[in-house]
Amino acid sequence: MSTLIIAEHQHGQLRAITRHAATAAAQLGGDIHVLVAGHAVAGVAAQAAQIAGVSRVLVADQADLAHQLAERLAPLVTSITANYDNVIAASGTFARNVLPRVAALLDANMISDVLQIVSSDTFVRGIYAGNVHATIQTTDAKRVLSVRPTAFADAGTQANTAPLETLNWQVAATDARLAEWVSAEQTVSDGPELATARTVVSGGRALGSAEQFQKLLAPLAGKLGAAIGASRAAVDEGFAPNDWQVGQTGVVVAPELYLAVGISGAVQHLAGMKDSGTVVAINQDPDAPIFQHADYGLVGDLFTLLPELTSKL
């Protein structure tokens, strides 16, 4: 048994969720290798080599992989899968983009958002917005899995770093033509990563504007050392960036403390936060569904309550 993890990285930093994927890989058993693909990724490769349990890091460091376009990564991944039984990555936008292409090229099923590894071919995953857990068994020779970071602990680091192996990958002209990187708009945040944060403060449509989001939520998140999240309505209204969206079609979080501010508690939002430890809701409607899932509820106007809460903290 051997597993290849596709590392996720941004701004020269390995994303913590890759270490969570390593825990899932350890449960599959056997050798664990990590692929670091991109440009100027020596620092990322060094961080990947420190992940506990990893025995080799494959590094594809070249300009034409700079933006980690799925159309270029997928053929690279499939070109090295001969020796692996499993290809995995942490669930999220990156995995959603790359892994289905890898699965298609390998003629395998894509098994997404795995919550539990039962055995080498049997996995538990959520369906119907996480309301049902399905146990599925695959007959595929190679398994392509995305694993939910909040369902697997951080693997931590190891003292003896894994050796690095350089890959010289030639992007085929046909793959290079499939997609072209134009530009990226990214949110740079000083706070913790949303997917793995211990505290999350999320705002909904009721915040009313991007300015109110920053003015009211950022100071509270700063005081709590929290990541900021948002409902889809808030994202669709342009109050918060896309990568802050918590829910079925956003990021799944399971922090120790989740604070939902001006969020109604639609089933699709709950799918992304219902495994949180303690849920606190602030909403002016005492009948808002979010209160049925909250450990503490504060009924009132967020524009009064949030500044008060922040100042008391």
- Span of 7-15, 37-45, 185-193, 295-303 interacting with ligand FAD by CB under 6 A: 295-303
Query: How far are the Cα atoms of 24, 183, 200, 294 from residue 9, in angstroms, in the given order?
Result: 18, 17, 21, 34
Site residues for ligand FAD, 215-234, by CB under 6 A, read 231-234
Query: Is residue 262 within the footprint of ligand FAD (CB under 6 A)?
Result: yes
d(CA 169, CA 142): 22
CA atoms 222, 285, 280, 269: torsion sign: negative
Of 68, 130, 129, 126, nearest in space to 99 by CA:
68
Query: Is residue 276 within the footprint of ligand FAD (CB under 6 A)?
Result: no
Among 45, 58, 162, 206, contact with ligand FAD (rule: CB under 6 A): 206
Site residues for ligand FAD, 240-259, by CB under 6 A, read 245-250
The helix-helix angle for 70-79 and 93-106 (nearest 10°) equals 50
199 within 8 A of 224, measured Cβ to Cβ: yes
Q: Which is nearer to ligand FAD, 53 or 219 (CB)?
A: 219
126 within 8 A of 132, measured Cβ to Cβ: yes
Q: Which is nearer to ligand FAD, 145 or 288 (CB)?
A: 288
Q: How far is CA 7 from the centre of its chain?
A: 12
Judged by CB under 6 A, the number of residues near ligand FAD is 28
Q: Which is nearer to ligand FAD, 98 or 234 (CB)?
A: 234
- Span of 38-46, 65-73, 156-164, 278-286 interacting with ligand FAD by CB under 6 A: 278-286
Site residues for ligand FAD, 17-76, by CB under 6 A, read none
- Residues at the contact surface with ligand FAD, assessed by CB under 6 A: 204-206, 231-234, 245-250, 262-264, 266, 268-269, 272, 282-285, 288, 301-303
